[in-house]
């Protein structure tokens, strides 16, 4: 019985080497081959040479009227020349380094040749030769992403053979009512018209169906995963409501409406018997930490432990310091676990975690080390969670018995990514800033206006404020990055001496050195802090009012927005100065976006439009899928519709018992095991 799961080795002419070559394109099965779609289509309609301009790409059709002449020269270099009668004239077609075509090019045979037209010599410098046997492949003009192991014609031939041999076992996965509602093709026709369309209209209709199918299947897997997690036994964290209200009342300020809404969503999840899997989104300074603190307090008051994992030691230490103050006088006992502890300190802390005497454990990835055991872990909070790999987040989850998970991010995620990267999570959004917060005023200055920027900064320092000066990250070399920051530090120290003290912070310092510098800055002993992007996340000094960024066009929008969020954390008006001479339109667009808006979600959406979904969070860590035909940005409407349709189908009673849906049930069974979204 044939199946799309058959290995490509089942196809004629595919031996072990070709199996290995196809695997380099991610093609292992016949199904992989049939869904390896073209990236574009060449126009293969023959042209009238009388209308063609010099160096134009052409397709000509004619008859070979001379014996092919093959000349070899140098190592593996060759030239194949053919005389072809096209209409009333004879032209020359020349192929370089395709000696194998000499056997294919037969005298008096009709052929189609593609290449560039040389008007002066009346010849085509050709790259493709198609015979009558290639008619099906030729008619499509399909062009595939290939590499050095597989040629276009080889791939086309294999796809053609696979379709001829397997078309009858191609199942249609989209349920009939949805296909009828959106006028979509059945899967056999879709695959045929993607590879071998008769015209552009057929190709467009097939691509539209393929886009919906891809989004629908992806969302179906996510929704099924979400349902499975909800059915998984979790911990019912039955906190005392009056005690929690008393704690919130003692915080010292009124929560915003958005914070109250989000706290209710999280607390509702904690009481449920299934494992919470919630993403907490909020712009820089929107008050996510206090929301997490309330969830932590609820968890601990119910007799469980909580863990908070941060991406850097600076941020972990800052969380520990801040939360120790928040929980002062309560039954929450905070422990800070980082890689810079001595062996003795680590052992003492690990013992206290294991016996439960420390019930809030804050740290970096040290939290997931094998020798760290928890007494009764009920809640896991990850801060800036996209900075952790999937495996690290999973390891922390596995430390307890299906603990509830709250993932926080201050990187605003546009809707497009929220329903792809985090589609299986419940999402809570804090979309309101605390009262009294003034938006950070952002200015873009040319590098030549540096002195103007420094005079402005001096005026702020004279008024008792502090400032950050950020040097760009040069990715190619961490050492070069440090040198860059060091040079800038020396320049600034000289400029501001003797009136103001300047400090330096970079990623190659030890945890102790970083902490020491941050304390000096926070205590006001340093007025200016020169830094690399190590301060991008979480550093909190309400007295800092100026963020000055050199060569700002070297940073992405999300990073610039994060850096800007380090100021504006107190009552005073704050400023972000971008020094940049961008050479590209994209660089200029980034600067303009930063000046125009302080809304993180607008910034994130613009970032997505400029860079595309794959780069915004990074595929490996974010889980953003690499879609074959669908574009989550350009096809957002289809993505949203497909998501709703997938959710509706799974909520339909006995949907999986209907005959029409059996191919979909099989698909889910096969792919659910391969789905490891975090």
For 292-324, how does the pLDDT look when each residue is reduced to its tens digit (9 = 90+)? 999 999 999 999 999 998 888 888 988 999 999
Alpha-carbon distance of 448 to 452, in angstroms, equals 9
Q: Please give the average per-residue pLDDT across 225-232, as a whole number.
A: 72
Per-residue pLDDT at 607: 80
Per-residue pLDDT at 605: 77
Per-residue pLDDT at 635: 83
Per-residue pLDDT at 453: 94
Tokens coding 657: 């018992």
Per-residue pLDDT at 483: 52
Q: How far is CA 608 from CA 457, 463, 637, in A?
A: 32, 39, 15
Tokens coding 585: 């339109």
Helix (H, G, I), strand (E, B) or coil at 136: helix
Alpha-carbon distance of 321 to 314, in angstroms, equals 11
Question: Is-contact 4 30, C-beta < 8 A?
Answer: yes
Q: Please give the average per-residue pLDDT across 39-67, as a whole number.
A: 85
Query: What's the CA dihedral at 506, 511, 517, 521 to 10 degrees?
Result: 100
Which one of 33-37, 118-122, 283-287 scores highest in mean pLDDT? Answer: 33-37
Task: Provide DSSP, 261-290.
Answer: HHHHHHHHHHHSSBPPEEEEEE-TTS-HHH
Per-residue pLDDT at 137: 53
Alpha-carbon distance of 12 to 190, in angstroms, equals 24
Alpha-carbon distance of 473 to 481, in angstroms, equals 6
Q: How many CA atoms lie within 13 A of 450 on its CB side?
A: 13
**158 falls in which pLDDT band (50, 70, 90)?**
very high
Which one of 140-154, 177-191, 525-539 scores highest in mean pLDDT? Answer: 177-191
**409 falls in which pLDDT band (50, 70, 90)?**
confident
Q: How far is CA 674 from CA 161, 218, 221, in A?
A: 28, 12, 10
H helices of 42-171, in order, are 101-104, 135-140, 152-166
**What average pLDDT is seen over the chain?**
85
CA angle 486, 487, 490 (to 5 degrees): 85
Per-residue pLDDT at 615: 42
CA angle 507, 513, 514 (to 5 degrees): 50
In the block, which residue shows the tokens 């380099």? 24
Asked if residue 452 has pLDDT above 70, the reply is yes
Q: Could you tell me the strand order of the sheet in which 502-505 lies?
A: 441-445, 575-579, 544-550, 466-470, 528-531, 502-505
Asked if residue 419 has pLDDT above 90, the reply is no
Least trusted range by pLDDT, from 97-111, 444-458, 645-659: 97-111
In the block, which residue shows the tokens 């000055």? 548
Q: Please give the average per-residue pLDDT across 610-628, as a whole number.
A: 52
Tokens coding 172: 């249609």
Q: How far is CA 118 from CA 43, 50, 89, 99, 233, in A?
A: 19, 12, 15, 21, 72
Q: Please give the average per-residue pLDDT across 495-507, as a whole number.
A: 91
Question: Is-contact 444 594, C-beta < 8 A?
Answer: yes
Per-residue pLDDT at 153: 82
Q: Which residues contact 212 (CB under 8 A, 6 or more apart)?
A: 174, 182, 184, 638, 641, 642
Q: Please give the average per-residue pLDDT across 489-517, as a whole number.
A: 88
Q: How far is CA 9 from CA 17, 33, 145, 154, in A?
A: 10, 12, 21, 14
Q: Structure pTM?
A: 0.61
Enter the DSSP assignment of 233: B
**618 falls in which pLDDT band (50, 70, 90)?**
very low
**544 falls in which pLDDT band (50, 70, 90)?**
very high
């Amino acid at each position: 019985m044939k199946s799309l799961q058959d290995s490509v080795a089942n196809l004629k002419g595919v031996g072990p080497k070709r199996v290995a070559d196809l695997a380099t394109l991610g093609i292992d099965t016949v199904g992989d081959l049939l869904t390896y779609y073209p990236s574009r289509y060449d126009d293969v309609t023959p042209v009238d040479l009388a209308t063609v301009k010099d160096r134009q790409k052409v397709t000509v059709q004619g008859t070979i009227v001379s014996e092919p002449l093959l000349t070899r020269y140098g190592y593996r270099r060759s030239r194949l020349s053919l005389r072809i009668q096209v209409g009333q004239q004879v032209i020359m077609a020349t192929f370089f380094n395709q000696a194998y075509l000499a056997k294919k090019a037969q005298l008096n045979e009709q052929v189609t040749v593609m290449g560039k037209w040389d008007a002066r010599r009346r010849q085509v410098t050709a790259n493709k030769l198609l015979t009558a046997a290639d008619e099906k492949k030729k008619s499509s003009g399909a062009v595939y992403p290939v590499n050095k192991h597989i040629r276009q014609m080889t791939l086309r031939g294999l796809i053609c053979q696979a379709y001829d041999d397997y078309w009858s076992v191609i199942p249609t996965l989209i349920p009939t009512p949805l296909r009828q509602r959106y006028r979509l093709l059945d899967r056999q026709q879709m695959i045929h018209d993607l590879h071998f369309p008769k015209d552009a209209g057929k190709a467009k209709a097939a691509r539209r169906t393929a886009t919906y199918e891809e989004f629908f299947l992806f969302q179906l897997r996510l929704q099924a995963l979400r349902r499975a997690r909800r059915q998984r036994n979790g911990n019912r964290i039955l906190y005392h409501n009056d005690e929690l209200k008393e704690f919130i009342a003692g915080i010292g300020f009124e929560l915003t409406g958005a914070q109250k809404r989000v706290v209710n969503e999280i607390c509702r999840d904690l009481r449920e018997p299934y494992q919470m899997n919630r993403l907490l989104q909020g712009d820089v300074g929107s008050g996510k930490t206090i929301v997490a603190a309330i969830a932590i307090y609820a968890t601990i008051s119910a007799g469980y432990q909580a863990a908070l994992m941060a991406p850097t030691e600076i941020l972990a230490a800052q969380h520990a310091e801040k939360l120790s103050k928040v929980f002062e006088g309560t039954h929450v006992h905070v422990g800070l676990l980082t890689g810079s502890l001595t062996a003795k300190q680590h052992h003492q802390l690990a013992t206290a975690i294991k016996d439960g005497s420390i019930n809030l454990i804050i740290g970096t990835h040290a939290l997931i080390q094998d020798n760290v055991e928890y007494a009764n872990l009920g809640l896991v909070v990850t801060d800036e969670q996209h900075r952790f790999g999937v495996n690290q987040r999973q390891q922390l989850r596995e430390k307890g018995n299906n603990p509830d998970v709250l993932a926080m991010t201050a990187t605003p995620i546009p809707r497009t990514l929220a329903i792809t990267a985090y589609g299986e999570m419940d999402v809570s959004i804090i979309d309101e800033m605390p009262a009294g917060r003034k938006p950070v005023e952002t200015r873009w200055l040319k590098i030549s206006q540096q002195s103007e920027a420094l005079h402005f900064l001096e005026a702020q320092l004279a008024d008792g404020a502090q400032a950050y000066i950020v040097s760009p990250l040069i990715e190619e070399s961490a050492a070069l990055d440090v040198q860059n920051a060091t040079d800038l530090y020396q320049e600034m120290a000289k400029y501001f001496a003797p009136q103001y003290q300047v400090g330096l912070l970079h990623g190659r310092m030890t945890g102790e050195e970083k902490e020491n510098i941050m304390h000096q800055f926070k205590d006001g002993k340093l007025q200016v802090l020169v830094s690399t992007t190590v301060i991008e996340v979480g550093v909190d000094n309400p007295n800092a009012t100026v963020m000055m960024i050199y060569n700002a066009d070297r940073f992405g929008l999300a990073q610039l927005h994060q850096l800007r969020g380090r100021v504006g954390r107190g009552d005073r008006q704050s400023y972000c100065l971008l020094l940049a001479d961008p050479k590209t339109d994209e660089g200029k667009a980034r600067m303009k976006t930063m000046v125009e808006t302080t809304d993180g979600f607008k910034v994130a959406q613009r970032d997505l439009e400029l860079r595309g979904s794959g780069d915004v969070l990074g595929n490996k860590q974010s889980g953003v899928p690499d879609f074959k035909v669908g574009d989550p940005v350009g096809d957002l409407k289809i993505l949203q519709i497909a998501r709703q349709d997938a959710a509706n189908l799974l909520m339909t009673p006995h949907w999986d018992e209907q005959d029409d849906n059996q191919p979909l049930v099989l698909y889910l069974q096969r792919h659910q095991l391969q789905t490891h979204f975090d």
